[in-house]
Chain A
Amino acid sequence: MSSTKTWDWWRGDVDWSTPAGRLLRAFFDGLPTDRRFHFILFGSAPLQLTLNRTWTSADVDFFSDDDDDHHERIRRLGLGKGQADLYLEPGYRLSFRSTPLMAERAKVVSLGQVTVTIPHPLDILIAKLARLDAKDLLAFRRVIDLTGHPTREELLQELRNAVDLFRPAFDDESPNLYPGNAVRLWRELWQAPLDVGQDIVAPALARRRAGYGDPPPDYRRSLAD
């Protein structure tokens, strides 16, 4: 059955013979066999695993769904930072800021007692908007070169769905760079202007309000009269 989802351009077939794939397999082989594990990948590794095996990255970012700390195990296996050319970088769920659709469109793969969630390139790219260094901008360009996606309209829709990424930062955080980076991305990729308030926030909030239904009148006042 064909689907009309706008993210169907990615199948998520994993090439475990890639450098990231081999590193992950070595890690999985060193895990205890008496329990199950679930890891969620983020950063560039999912792009190397599923889009292009020559995609370079220094590390493989992941977190565990139960927030286990895997640093010690990784060090023991010799797969950590400073121990291997390509190393494992365990993080936490909060390290990966992406969209509400991440789980829905991710690829989930089982390897023995290990389950791996590999996010869709859209979610990987949108997470990169938090920083948008030159390397992150190149990642956008390369995914588009390889797949033809996301188009400008597709990305606009995705950013509306992820509107909460555009909220101001907490007081003790660095400023939220998403709004400025989105404007920069539009300029770099499509030589086009982007008005975050008008093009992303306003339509998203209108849809959110429509989902809540009409605001109720003041029934409490009527009760008190």
Chain B
Amino acid sequence: MRIPGDDTDRPWRKSRLAARILFRKEAGRMTARDQRIGRLLAQDPEVTNRLIQQGIYSIRYQGRRIGDRKHEFDKNLGLVAR
């Protein structure tokens, strides 16, 4: 349960949101709202690539975990060459 006033997991919650936006981006379903929030999160020092990566591994998108598809996911986002 989230304790009011306790912000220790705030970076983690924002990074999971960033991961969800990237899942929608990869699926070609990114909304204008996603773009706007994505830009804000990209500037947020609490949101790190490491935490976003953990979010990508831990959340389900459309009922599925990323599993072995992680490299393909990164490639589809244009973040790895091959």
Contacts and interface: CB of A to CB of B under 8 A. Distances in A.
B78 interface: yes
Given A222-B78, A223-B22, A217 B49 contact: yes
Contacts, number: 47
Name the residue among A216, A219, A221, A222 with the largest chain B CB count within 10 angstroms: A219
A219 B39 contact: no
A221 B42 contact: yes
Contacts of A172: none
A203 B43 CA distance: 36
B13 interface: no
What bracket does the count of chain A residues touching chain B fall in?
Answer: under 10
A35 interface: no
Contacts of A218: 49, 79
Interface string A112-155: 00000000000000000000000000000000000000000000
B41 interface: yes
A1 interface: no
B11 interface: no
Interface string A73-109: 0000000000000000000000000000000000000
B50 A216 contact: yes
A220 B47 contact: yes
B58 to A, nearest CB: 13
A224 interface: yes
Given A219-B22, A219-B79, A224 B74 contact: no
Contacts of A220: 18, 41-42, 47-49, 52
B49 A224 contact: no
Nearest to B74: A217
B49 A216 contact: yes
A37 to B, nearest CB: 35
B68 to A, nearest CB: 14
A219 to B, nearest CB: 4
Nearest to B21: A223
B79 A223 contact: no
A-B interface, 7 closest residue pairs, ranked by CB to CB distance from nearest: A224-B42, A217-B79, A216-B53, A223-B42, A216-B49, A223-B38, A219-B52
Interface of A: 216-224
14 contacts: A216-B49, A216-B50, A217-B74, A217-B79, A218-B49, A219-B22, A219-B56, A220-B48, A220-B49, A221-B42, A221-B79, A222-B22, A223-B52, A224-B42
